[in-house]
Amino acid sequence: MLRAAVDALGPGVQVAGAIMVPSSDKYVQRKAKRAPGHGDELEPPSFELRAQLLRSMAADVGLDSWLHVSDAEAARRLFYLDVVEDLAKNATNDPDLGRLAPPQLIFVTGCDRWFPLLEHSPGCDGVVVVPRADSAGVPARSSWPSWAHNSPYRVVAAPLSNGVDALSSTKLRIAVTNALETAEVSAGNLQEAVASAAESFMTPSAAAEFAVWVVATKSATSA
């Protein structure tokens, strides 16, 4: 998704880095309980594990020095565009920047929340919407107000493809549950089965870490 956003901005925009803000544990737990098929499977992973998985995936694709994982929502209850406003305020007051201009902050979102694209939000210099392949609803650029239409920082990326658009936490949970049910009982086999299932949703290093957590959590809850 971040790569798609960088591509959409084009070579004229130099991207210095990216900040990802995982949801709070409470939000993820509520979402998991509402998901289809929720039952006695594992509880959702904690913020700490999700942050580590993001770092591992970034390292696997060579973006570890480019990505920062923020606890703005998990620890400080900043939600959605509140995070951008807070970042902008902190950047403006950061003595390390000296006389340098504060960085321009561009919000990356999916097509289910495209509306910031055409709104003025405090601290937000631009918005990139990254749609799924089968999504609709984002207005055509020709209908945007001129201030948004003329901005190089407000764009809609090409739809995600190659199956990336179909990835979701619900599908990951179902795949892992199926792997646990069909794998042999030994911890080694369980871990291998979970890692294999998870690799359809994350990079190999992250899948291996995730599998270790799944098996350890399952063993603890079964004891």
Model confidence over 79-97: pLDDT tens digits? 889 999 998 888 888 787 7
d(CA 98, CA 94): 8
Range of the domain at 124: 2-162
Q: Tell me which DSSP letter residue 66 carries.
A: T
Question: What stretch of H or E contains 107?
Answer: strand 106-110
Domain assignment present for 150: yes
Domain assignment of residue 207, yes or no: no
- Residue-level pLDDT at 111: 83
Residue 27's CB is within 10 A of a number of other CB atoms, namely 14
Q: Is 88 domain-assigned?
A: yes
Residue 182 in any domain: the answer is: no
Cα–Cα–Cα angle for 198, 26, 65, rounded to 5 degrees: 55
In a domain, 177, yes or no: no
CA angle 140, 142, 146 (to 5 degrees): 120
The answer to whether position 171 is within a domain reads no
Mean predicted confidence (pLDDT) in 124-151: 88
Dump pLDDT digits (tens) for 172-196: 888 888 888 776 655 568 888 889 9
210 within some domain: no
Other CB atoms within 10 Å distance of the CB of residue 162: 7
User: Poorest-confidence range of 54-68, 89-103, 114-128?
Assistant: 89-103
pLDDT of the residue at 131: 86
- Total structural domains within the chain: 1
> Does residue 85 belong to any structural domain of this protein?
yes
> What is the pTM assigned to this prediction?
0.80
